[in-house]
């Protein structure tokens, strides 16, 4: 279970601290799949960065007894100048995984072929997404944090992600962040909406979407 208790985050700006959100409360059980909707700048990415533990909270606390992935996003997690293989090695050392096993799995999932031996900066967005996904699947977590990223892949990649995440890893929790409701509607059990500097959760997807629509223009 992951529990967010009155979580708040502020960023230092030139005119003093600016709250992104406050009083965020959220509980995610094992195997639960939840979506977070919000328009650009509502704090979606910030929220999952805090859940993953890479950004500090300004107030409240997060309690968890599950292993949580890094945010699978467009950027981050890789050293651009290093090759795919070197990045895999680094991540394996950090998470204490066997390098050879992970490379075999990543190779199989990401289908990058000889690009594995090229620097990440030469990758397309889709290739980077495939590599990031491949590694996180190989390292394996109780909860995966997904920041928009599935959308960048082609149909084949999306199919593979679906298979790996929602069929083979049905028992894992997932937090998916997006500004479009299609993907979330399809894959999540329930959703929360980030608006008015806080998170409002809805057990029903239609209600969440209606609320999101109503606050989209703020």
Partner 1 sequence: MTQMQEPQPTSFLRSWAIQRRVIGALLMREVITRYGRKNIGFLWLFVEPMVFTIGITLIWTATRGAHGSDLPIAAFALTGYSSVLVWRNMPSRLVNSIEPNLSLMYHRNVKILDIFAARLLLEGTGVGISFFVLTLFFAGIGWLGLPEDPIKVVFGWIMLAWFGSALGMFIGALSHRSALVDKFWSPLAYLLFPLSGAAFLLETLPPEFREWIMLLPMIHGVEYVRDGFFGSHFTPYYDMQYMAICNLVLTLFAFSEIRRASRNLVPA
Sole window of 75-83, 121-129, 184-192, 195-203 interacting with partner 1 (rule: CB under 8 A): 75-83
Instruction: Decide if residue 57 touches partner 1 (CB under 8 A).
Output: yes
Q: Which residue is listed with tokens 């998470």?
A: 95
In the complex, what is the shortest distance from the CB of residue 68 to partner 1, in angstroms, rounded to a whole number? 6
Positions in 121-180 near partner 1 (CB under 8 A): 142
In the complex, what is the shortest distance from the CB of residue 194 to partner 1, in angstroms, rounded to a whole number? 17
In angstroms, rounded to a whole number, what is the distance separating the alpha carbons of residues 166 and 218?
Answer: 34
Which of 64, 158, 197, 200 binds partner 1 (CB under 8 A)? It is 64
Sole window of 23-31, 81-89, 102-110, 150-158 interacting with partner 1 (rule: CB under 8 A): 81-89
Asked if residues 75 and 132 have their Cβ atoms less than 8 Å apart, the reply is: no
Map residues 5-44 to x or -, x wherever contact with partner 1 holds by CB under 8 A: ------xx--------------------------------
Size of the site for partner 1 (CB under 8 A): 39
Asked if residues 126 and 154 have their Cβ atoms less than 8 Å apart, the reply is: yes
Q: From edge to edge, which strands make up the β-sheet containing 143-147?
A: 68-72, 143-147, 173-178, 33-37, 190-195, 198-202
* 3-state SS class at 208: helix
In the complex, what is the shortest distance from the CB of residue 81 to partner 1, in angstroms, rounded to a whole number? 6
Which of 27, 80, 159, 180 binds partner 1 (CB under 8 A)? It is 80
Q: What 3 state SS string does 87-150 have?
A: HHHHHHHHHCCCHHHHHHHHHHHHCCHHHHHCEHHHCCHHHHHHHHHHHHHHHCCCEEEEECHH
Q: Which C-beta is closer to partner 1: that of 93 or that of 168?
A: 93
């Amino acid at each position: 279970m992951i529990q967010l208790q009155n979580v708040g985050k502020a960023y230092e700006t030139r005119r003093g601290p600016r709250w992104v959100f406050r009083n965020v409360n959220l509980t995610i059980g094992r195997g639960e799949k939840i979506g977070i909707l919000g328009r650009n700048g509502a704090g979606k990415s910030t929220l999952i960065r805090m859940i993953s533990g890479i950004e500090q909270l300004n107030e409240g606390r997060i309690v968890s007894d599950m292993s949580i992935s890094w945010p699978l996003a467009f950027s981050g997690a890789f050293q651009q100048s290093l090759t795919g293989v070197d990045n895999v090695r680094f991540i394996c050392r950090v998470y204490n995984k066997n390098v050879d096993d992970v490379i075999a799995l990543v190779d199989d999932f990401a289908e990058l072929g000889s690009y594995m031996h090229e620097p990440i900066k030469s990758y397309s967005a889709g290739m980077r997404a495939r590599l990031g996904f491949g590694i996180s699947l190989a390292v394996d977590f109780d909860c995966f944090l997904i920041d928009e990223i599935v959308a960048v892949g082609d149909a084949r990649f999306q199919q593979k992600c679906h298979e790996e995440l929602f069929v083979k890893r049905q028992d894992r929790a997932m937090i998916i962040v997006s500004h479009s409701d299609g993907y979330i509607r399809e894959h999540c059990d329930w959703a929360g909406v980030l608006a008015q500097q806080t998170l409002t959760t809805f057990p029903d997807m239609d209600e969440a979407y209606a609320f999101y629509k109503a606050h989209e223009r703020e």
